[in-house]
Amino acid sequence: MYRPSPNLVQRVHTAQRIAAVVETLGEEGVAPSRALAGTGLKTADLRAPDTRVSYKQVETAFRNAIRLSNDPAIALRAGRRMHVMAYGMYGYALLSSPTLAQGIDFTAKYGRVLGMVADVVFSRTETQAIFSLEALLSRNPRDDIYRFALEFAFATCQTLSKDIYGRPFKFSALRASYPAPPHARLYRRIFECPIQFEQRANELQFDVSWIDRPVADMHPNAHAMAGELCEQFLEDSDQGGGIAADIRRILVERPGRFPNIETIAAELSLHPRALRRRLEAEGTSYRDLLADVRMKLAIEYLRTTQMTNDEIAARLDYSDAANFRHAFSRWTGKSPSEYRGG
């Protein structure tokens, strides 16, 4: 599927890809100032949550890595740093996808918004699921930056897949359109699957059965990742401590699939009636806490992402967008579109 070339100079992407390259070069003793040469960025910019960069700046950092690194596989090493936490609320939304198939569709839809360095198209056959990738920084498979971007994207896809599916996940095949690089033997060790170069397309394949697994089988580490992603915006609510803070944390660590009070009580080794009494003593209730978590997540989604009301509703465990809109208006006095616009 054809997509127009991206705007290479518009600064709308987070700096995580550049940060991954800088950190990887740092392991070789390369100073951040050298890794960032020509990007117009400083080390402090990489830590600032409001920093936005362009594809051109990402390309400059990639070219610096090609020039400065002694490791021909540096793109693979840097791409493996791109865990789901690196994508902020988009990462949380990915973990909150109602089904794994929807999570894949979400990644493909928002790839450019996330600043991914390759467009991703997903397809499936009866036995195989297929990610087809095309580099955004170059269209020439024999260009070093083309290969670097694809290696970074291949490694990123593997990291995200293992974050979501768990460490046992493996691709069944990797096909690349560029010639075999000098470090081609490392591919087999990293991806643990058959590798082919100079192919007609760039593809990652895996067994389609992974997609059809129930959401309940999601990698348990996803809960910890979700908590880390949302720690900052829940910090004020948690300052009071008590059982309410524990419940907020449990709710946030179950992205898109909020447990009921009975489940939470069992996790806290309490009878549901005892839990309700303790919450009442703290001046709140399970229903109020759930509404508070949903409201804060909704605000963050509206403030920091381009997700639609339907997508937000699904990830907040609402049956449809209308119910979400009514709830949001009740919380804030504004509709989601009014809040986002103003």
Encode the chain (342 residues) as per-residue pLDDT tens digits: 446 677 888 888 889 999 999 999 999 999 999 999 999 999 999 988 789 999 999 999 999 999 999 999 999 999 999 988 788 888 888 888 877 788 888 888 888 777 789 998 999 999 999 999 999 999 999 999 999 999 999 999 999 888 888 788 899 999 999 999 999 999 999 999 999 999 999 999 999 998 877 655 555 556 666 666 656 555 655 555 689 988 988 888 887 788 999 999 999 999 999 999 999 999 999 999 999 999 999 998 998 888 999 999 999 999 899 999 999 999 999 999 999 976
- Give the residue from 90, 83, 114, 84 showing the smallest Cα distance to 315: 90
| Residues 112, 121: Cα–Cα separation, whole Å | 12
Phi and psi, residue 165, nearest 5°:
-90, -25
Superfamily of the domain at 221-341: Homeodomain-like (1.10.10.60)
As annotated, the residues of the chain forming the CATH 1.10.10.60 domain(s) are 221-341
N residues, the chain: 342
Delimiting residues of CATH 3.90.1520 domain(s) in the chain: 16-210
* 92-to-98, 108, 272 alpha-carbon distances in Å: 12, 15, 29
Three-class secondary structure of residue 5 per DSSP: coil
Total-model pTM: 0.86
Strand runs labelled E in the chain: 118-124, 128-135, 173-175, 195-196, 202-207
| Separation of first and last alpha carbons in the chain | 35
For domain 16-210, give the CATH number: 3.90.1520
For residue 78, give both structure tokens: 């840097």
